[in-house]
Amino acid sequence: MKVEVIGQQIPQQEIDAYIARAKEMYPDKIINKMTITPDGDFVDLKYEFADIPFDRVRRITGYLVGSLDRFNNGKRAEVEDRVTHGIQ
């Protein structure tokens, strides 16, 4: 994680505490960057999170699937024989 301090300098121990707080608040997210801006007795914290990969899930021949690589030959044939219905 990249940490940027804007303005007055703060002790490393305080920066480490902000990092620990961010990891505790967002345990399921990957933090790419944290910007710390001291403002008197207060501190503004800004987080930039990494993108989460997303797999598209579709209903094909009655099954919810992300990809066709696990289909047997019969199911692959069903997919190839599908008819696209247009909206009129």
In terms of domains, do 40 and 75 share one? Answer: no
Both 31 and 58 in a single domain? no
In which element (H, E) is residue 17 found? helix 12-25
- Asked if 5 and 38 count as a contact pair (C-beta separation under 8 A), the reply is yes
What is Dmax (Cα atoms) for the chain? 69
Please indicate, yes or no, whether residues 45 and 57 belong to a single structural domain of this protein: no
Q: Residue 27 pLDDT > 90, yes or no?
A: yes
pTM for the complete prediction?
0.60
Mean pLDDT of 50-69: 80
Residue 88 forms part of a structural domain: no
Q: Are residues 57 and 43 in the same domain?
A: no
Residue 19, pLDDT score: 95
Number of domains in the chain: 2
Q: Look up the domain containing 72 and give its range.
A: 53-82
Which tokens belong to 52? 């989460």
Q: Which two tokens mark 24?
A: 């505790």
